């Protein structure tokens, strides 16, 4: 575009950039800063925002649309034009429409909202952090931007609480969350049953039995079930609230445990629910293991790798793909009808140690064999 403020051309543009300060560009991950050497070097990009958060400022694109900048013969440099039009030109939208991040921090509603129907998968990755001092385990999810890991956008984290009878994770928008279940940064919870065969995904509300106020009751976002399969990786089934063609999910906020997603599934009342299940991997003699086509997004073998499909809604199209790419790094690719929050919760459930998977099954079997041998030795 050929635009300029009604004053000296170059000084006007520099003043505008200085006024914007540390605000992000349209892709939500490029911080545009003023430079004293802007005429020679253009405008720098940095992946770390500095200073305290400020109120959202008017972007360059907004200035053009609001006629704060008028047409002129001045031509911006290539980098200046890229700043103004990033994410709008053909071929630049590597991130789906539902995944485009603006200059503000990622909102709770964006993380909880299903991906837009028809969009390509939202490419993300998860990093696992293990504590060497008994501090538990933590996962952090990031959104990949333009395929460049250095420009990735932090989405949310999950911290496992210690001293709980079952696996219990708090999902937060804070990269360094605490154990406070009343924190304003809390998105939701992922909690397992005793053996890890079932996980419940909820928001920050409380169980119906703990409050008489319906508005305080938790909203349920899904149930994930695991079943050991002696022929290969665990079988995975998940039930989530239904999503319409416009990408709006049904609200599931039961006033009693009787109307929870799990109880409705047990009774066969699934008309308002979507069922997801993992694709069955095939045995490959050449590799000596079960394989799936991950389209190059998974580089290391693991029984935790999986692909979920929603046959009733999208047929055999994969809606969630998860797999290992490093010792503590995993890819997470999600699309309609799931939200980033639901996908993250399902991946956490898969990575969590459980008796219901192969390792847990083998441990219990060896323990039972050991007890039986000891009993036989005593009898002999």
Q: Is the pLDDT of residue 332 over 90?
A: yes
Q: Mean pLDDT score of the chain, rounded to an integer?
A: 75
Phi, psi values for residue 342, rounded to 5°: -65, -45
**pLDDT value at 154 more than 90:** yes
**Residue 54 near residue 72, CB atoms below 8 Å:** no
Confidence label for 369 from pLDDT (cuts 50, 70 and 90): low
pLDDT surpasses 60 at 1: no
Q: What is the pLDDT of residue 130?
A: 87
Cα distance between residue 320 and residue 335, in whole Å: 7
pLDDT at 21 over 60: no
Confidence tier at 26 by pLDDT (50, 70, 90): very low
Average pLDDT over residues 73-77: 44
Please spell the DSSP secondary structure of 252-316, one letter per residue: ---SSGGGSHHHHHHTT--TTEEEEEEPPPEEETTTTEEE---TTS--B--TT-EEEE-HHHHTT
- Binned at pLDDT 50, 70 and 90, residue 69 comes out as very low
pLDDT tens figures, 193-222: 988 899 999 999 999 988 888 889 999 999
Per the CB < 8 A criterion, the answer to whether 151 and 145 are in contact is: yes
Greater confidence, 197 or 96? 197
At residue 180, the pLDDT reads 82
pLDDT attached to residue 219 = 96
The whole-number pLDDT of residue 353 equals 82
What length does the chain have? 380
Q: What is the DSSP string of 149-192?
A: EEEEEEEEEEEEPSS-SS-EEEEES-SS--S-TT-TTEEEEEEE
> What's the mean pLDDT in 10-17?
52
Better pLDDT: 124 or 280: 124
- Predicted confidence at residue 179, as pLDDT, reads 82
* Cβ count within 10 A of residue 180: 12
pLDDT of amino acid 148? 67
Residue % of the chain over a pLDDT of 90? 42
| Low-confidence winner among 82-86, 158-162, 246-250 (lowest mean pLDDT) | 82-86
Give the β-pairing of 122-130 and 137-145: antiparallel
CA distances from 5 to 9, 63, 71, 95 (A): 7, 10, 9, 32
pLDDT tens sequence across 279-322: 988 877 887 777 888 989 999 988 889 999 999 998 899 999 99
Average pLDDT over residues 37-53: 38
- Of all residues in the chain, the percent with pLDDT exceeding 70 is 64
Residue 336 β-bridge partners: none
Reported as a pLDDT band with limits 50, 70 and 90, residue 18 is low
Confidence of residue 72 (pLDDT cuts 50, 70, 90): very low
Q: Are strands 273-278 and 70-71 parallel, antiparallel or unpaired?
A: unpaired
pLDDT of residue 135: 63
User: What is the distance between the alpha carbons of residues 103 and 29, in angstroms, rounded to a whole number?
Assistant: 8
**pLDDT at position 371, please?**
75
CA-to-CA distance for 318 and 115, rounded, in angstroms?
13
Please compute the mean of the pLDDT values over residues 44-60 and round it to a whole number.
Answer: 41
Q: Report how far Cα 254 is from the mean position of its chain's Cα atoms.
A: 25
* 169-173, 303-307, 376-380: which is most confident: 169-173
How far apart are the two ends of the chain, measured CA to CA in Å? 91
């Amino acid at each position: 575009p050929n635009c300029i403020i009604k004053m000296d051309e170059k000084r006007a543009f520099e003043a505008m950039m200085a006024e914007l300060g540390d605000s992000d560009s349209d892709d939500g991950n490029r911080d545009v800063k003023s430079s004293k050497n802007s005429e020679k070097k253009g405008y720098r990009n940095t992946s770390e925002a500095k200073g305290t958060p400020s109120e959202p400022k008017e972007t360059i694109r907004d200035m053009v649309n609001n006629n704060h900048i008028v047409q002129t013969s001045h031509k911006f440099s290539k980098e200046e034009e890229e700043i103004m039009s990033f994410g709008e030109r053909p071929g630049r939208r590597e991130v789906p429409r539902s995944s485009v991040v603006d200059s503000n921090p990622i909102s709770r509603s964006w993380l909880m909202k299903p991906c837009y129907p028809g969009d390509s998968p939202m490419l993300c990755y998860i990093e696992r952090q293990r504590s060497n001092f008994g501090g538990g385990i933590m996962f952090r999810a990031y959104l990949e931007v333009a395929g460049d890991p250095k420009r990735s956008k932090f989405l949310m984290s999950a911290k496992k609480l210690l001293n709980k009878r079952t696996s219990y994770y708090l999902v937060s928008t804070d990269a360094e969350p605490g154990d406070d279940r009343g924190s304003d940064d809390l998105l939701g919870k992922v909690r397992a049953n005793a053996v890890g065969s079932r996980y419940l995904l909820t928001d920050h509300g409380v169980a119906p039995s703990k409050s008489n106020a319906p508005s305080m009751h938790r909203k349920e976002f899904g149930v994930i079930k695991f079943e050991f399969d002696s022929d290969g990786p665990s079988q995975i089934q998940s039930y989530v609230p239904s999503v319409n063609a416009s990408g709006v999910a049904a609200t599931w906020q039961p006033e009693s445990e009787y109307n929870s997603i799990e109880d409705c599934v047990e009774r066969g009342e699934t008309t308002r629910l979507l069922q997801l299940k993992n694709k069955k991997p095939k045995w490959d003699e050449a590799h000596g293991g079960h394989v799936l086509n991950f389209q190059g997004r998974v580089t290391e073998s693991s029984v935790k790798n999986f692909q979920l499909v929603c046959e009733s809604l999208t047929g055999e199209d994969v809606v969630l793909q998860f797999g290992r790419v490093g010792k503590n790094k995993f890819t997470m690719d999600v699309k309609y009808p799931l939200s980033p929050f639901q996908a993250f919760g399902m991946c956490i459930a898969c990575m969590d140690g459980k008796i219901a998977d192969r390792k847990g099954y083998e441990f219990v079997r060896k323990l039972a064999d050991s007890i039986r041998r000891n009993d036989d030795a005593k009898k002999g």
